[in-house]
Amino acid sequence: MKTEVLPIHSSVLFEAATEKAATLLDCGEIVALPSETVYGLAADALNTSAVRCIYEVKQRPANNPLIVHIASRKMLQTCVREWSDVAEKFANAFWPGPLTLVLPKAKCITHAITAGLDSVAIRWPAHPLMQAVIRRLGRPLAAPSANLANQLSPTSAEHVLNQLDKRIPLIVDGGLSNVGIESTVLSLCGAAPTVLRPGVIHLEALQAIDPSTRNLDALSKRKNSKQPQLSPGLHKKHYAPRARLKIHHWDSTSNLLKAVEAFGATQSRTCIICHEQIPSAETFSRVSVIPHDPEAYARALYAELFVADQEKPDLILIESVPDTSAWQGIRDRITRASSN
C-alpha cells in the first residue's frame, strides 16, 4: 500500500486533505491525522471492522481501549449513557483540548473500542483539521496515538511515516503537535474524578474544577497497566532493540561523565537530553537542550527522543525533571520510556 502524505498549510490544501481523509474513513479505511497532543490513527468509531483494523496495524493488545474523538455536543450525547454536572464542568473548562473523560458508554460504542469495558474515553480535540474531518464524516473517530504499540508517540508526520509507511493509505501533515504529549485521561466513573494518565492538564488544574480529583495511586496503577502478553508472532517486534534510556540528575559535567561510565556506555555513543545542567563536553553523540518550562518541554520531548533514537546510541540519558504537578505528565512519559 502506498502511503500518501497531504499538507494543510493553505485553505485549499486543508480542504482537499479534509475531503480525502473523510472519504477514506467513510469507506472503512484508517488514516493518520494531526491533533494538538500527538498524531492519531483514526477510524470511523461506528465501523467495527475499521476499529479492529487499528489494533491490527498498531499491533495493539486487544485489551487496551481506544479514545473516541467528537466535535459536537450532539455527537457526545450519542456516545455516553450518563452526563453529570461534574462532567459538564470539566468539559466547559477544558474542551476542546487535551483532556479525555472516561464515562459510562452508550450502546453504539462497541466492545471493540472499549476492550469490553462498560465505559468509554471521550475527547473533543482542539486541532482544526481533526475537528473538520469529524464534522465532514459526521461520526466520531476512534483514534489511539499513531505509533506501533510500545513505541514513541508521533508529534509530526515524519514520525508517523517512520513507523507506519505502507501500512495506511494517508497521513495528513499538520506540522508539529502543539502540546506534544498525550491527553490527560480522567475517569468520572468512580466516587471521585481520578487521573488515569497525567498530561499537561495537571492535577492542580483539575482540582480547581473539582477539589475531590485525585491521582490513581501507584498500586492500582500497576495492576491496571498489567496487559496480557502479546501473541508470540508480534512479541519480537515489540521488543526489537532500541536505545536504552536512563533518567539521571547531575550537577557538573564531570558527574555526568561518571554516570555515563557507570551505565556502561561510552560518551561518543550517548545522547544527552537536558534542560538545566548543560554539559560542556563536546564528545557526546548528541546533546539536546529543551527549555526548562513544562509546556515547552512537553512540546519538544518526543521529537528530541526521535532524533536521539535515529542516532542508534548505546544510551539516551535524560536529566531528571522537577517533582511538581506541572511536570507530572512529562515525568510519567520519561519514566515509562526508561523502563522499556
Q: What is the grid cell recorded at 253? A: 559535567
Q: Does 18 bind ligand TXA (CB under 6 A)?
A: no
CB of 153 to ligand TXA, least distance (A): 7
| Smallest distance from Mg ion to CB 210, Å | 26
Contact segment (CB under 5 A) with Mg ion among 138-146, 200-208, 271-279, 286-294 equals 138-146
**Pattern 136-155, binding to ligand TXA, x per CB under 6 A?**
-------xxx----------
Number of residues that bind ligand TXA (CB under 6 A): 25
- Is residue 185 near ligand TXA by the rule CB under 6 A? yes
By CB under 6 A, is residue 173 in contact with ligand TXA? no
Which one among 18, 145, 187, 213 touches Mg ion, defined by CB under 5 A? 145
209 binds ligand TXA (CB under 6 A): no
How far is residue 260's CA from residue 284's CA, in Å, rounded to a whole number? 10
Which range in 64-72, 229-237, 238-246, 290-298 contacts ligand TXA by CB under 6 A? 64-72
Using the CB atoms, write b or e for 148-167: b if 16+ within 10 Å.
Answer: bbbbbbbbbbebbbbbbeee
CB of 64 to ligand TXA, least distance (A): 5
Look up residue 247 and give its amino acid. I
Q: Is 197 in the site for ligand TXA (CB under 6 A)?
A: yes
Check binding of 213 to Mg ion (CB under 5 A).
no
Residue 202 contacts ligand TXA per CB under 6 A = no
Contact between 35 and Mg ion per CB under 5 A = no
CB neighbour class for 290 (10 Å; exposed up to 12, middle 13-18, buried from 19):
buried
Examine residue 37 and tell whether it contacts ligand TXA (CB under 6 A): yes
* Binding partner at 65 among Mg ion, ligand TXA, none, C-beta below 5 to 8 Å by kind: ligand TXA
184 binds Mg ion (CB under 5 A): no
Question: In whole angstroms, how close is the CB of 78 to ligand TXA at the nearest point?
Answer: 16
Q: Which residues bind Mg ion (CB under 5 A)?
A: 145
Binding site for ligand TXA (CB under 6 A): 35, 37-38, 40, 64-67, 98, 100, 102, 114, 117, 119-121, 123, 143-145, 182-183, 185, 196-197
